[in-house]
Amino acid sequence: MSHAVKCPVCNGTGTKGHIEDYPGIMTPKKCYGCKGKGWINIDFPRESWEISPFEQLHDLHKALKDVETLRENNFKAVMHR
């Protein structure tokens, strides 16, 4: 079972930062955490009522760490350009 939550990278906007196409013209850049959707899916291995609140928070924390890792990897890729 999966659960949709607001993307913690872009705060649900679907965009993160801007690209300067031409001098003075900025275009929003698609968020790398949610790929522009504004939300991410978090997969739960069992039905939510079968999981304790502690386990649910642990799963959510793991998913958010995965998003943070994506963010760090993107930052490193941008810095190496």
pLDDT given at position 37: 92
As a whole number, mean pLDDT of residues 5-30 equals 86
Which of 30, 32, 38 has its CA nearest to residue 5?
38
- Inform me whether the pLDDT recorded for 36 exceeds 80: yes
pLDDT given at position 81: 59
Which positions ≥6 away from 10 have C-beta within 8 Å?
A: 16, 31, 33, 34, 38
* 6-10, 18-22, 74-78, range with the lowest pLDDT: 74-78
